[in-house]
Structure 1
Amino acid sequence: MVLIGRRLSADELQAVLDDAAVVDELLYGDLEDDDGEMPEPELDLDKSWHGVHYLLTGTAWDISQGAGEAVLGGEEIGEDGGYGPARLFTPEAVRAVAAALDALDLDALRARFDPRAMAALDIYPSPGAELAKFDDLAASLTDLHRFYKGAAADGQAVLLVIT
């Protein structure tokens, strides 16, 4: 399971609101570009998404306002792709999440980091996987923050999906 995200222009947001079937096309496209390569998503937290969510909320699945919405929040939209439907953040929600991520205290997140507690909560990709490392999660958190900050600055909506 990996989390990917895409920033949406105003026209793309309207297309999604008009027809949720557009979600898959926007997230996955034709699945190959002109060179036969898979396109890179604008956000790819790979398997660190669940550990990042834990750092932001202190929980496995609960969603809290602000930064705690960044990974599992948003409004469900479209078909269930096996790990739930995609989630849509309006431009207003994107700005709120971006502002909350701006205000995060990295030392507080480091203090929350507890690989054994995360394993006990089955934070993906546990059990049996190597215990999470804070620096890896911090790097993914930086990517997540950059993604939301860029979308907020451009007045864009966001689509996220776990696939």
Structure 2
Amino acid sequence: MSMNGEYVRLTPDELERVIGDHEWATALVEKLMDADARRRPGSAEARCHGTDKAWDAIGFLTRRAGFLVDIVHGEEQVPWGEDWGYGPPRYLSPDRVRTAAEAMAETGADRLVEGVGPADLTAAEVYPVGIWERDDSLEYATGHYEALVPFFRSAAEAGDAILVWLS
């Protein structure tokens, strides 16, 4: 079984309801994921986004780059705390989404991996352990990061929050 990073954009009203109602949150997220699966929108138009197994590498690289927002794990925990795979979801408020989007706009993939090699991810035991020595391993991580940038930018422009979890 693998661990995958998952993201869902939420309006402020949706976030308020998600925080207070686990069952409604589950139903909303399923509905949004189904809709995006049918429509297959680009990252900027999507309500849902996934980073596959690149989530830990993205976290490693963004921490190393000095990001002030945890774009991989979120920052605020939902109070109902139900497990959505590997723990409960967390979220980023609209203000934190905006801060993250600004940092991401300033930090292209080339800058993110500047001075980092596959051996660094291996030494740090970044999940999934054992893949980082492949020639294309950094491209795998930066490709997922680059797809996440317009997702965050669009959420910030709309004033949305983002729900984050590992499934």
TM-score, normalised relative to structure 2: 0.77
Contact 1:23 1:86 in 2 (8 A): no
Q: 2:51 corresponds to which residue?
A: 45
Match of 2:4 among 2, 6, 12: 2
Aligned AA (1:143): A
Q: 1:148 corresponds to which residue?
A: 152
Q: 1:135 corresponds to which residue?
A: 139
Unaligned runs of 5+ in 1: none
CA distance in structure 2 between the aligned counterparts of 1:107 and 1:89, rounded to whole angstroms: 25
Contact 2:109 2:146 in 1 (8 A): no
Aligned-residue RMSD, C-alpha: 2.8
Match of 2:128 among 94, 116, 125: 125
1:136 is displaced (CA, Å) by 2.0
1:8-157 alignment runs, 5 A limit:
8-29=10-31, 42-58=48-64, 65-66=67-68, 68-77=69-78, 78-127=81-130, 131=134, 133-157=137-161
Unaligned runs of 5+ in 2: 41-46
TM-score, normalised relative to structure 1: 0.79
Aligned AA (1:27): V
Contact 1:88 1:158 in 2 (8 A): yes
- Larger CA deviation: 23-32 vs 12-21: 23-32
CA distance in structure 2 between the aligned counterparts of 1:110 and 1:124, rounded to whole angstroms: 17
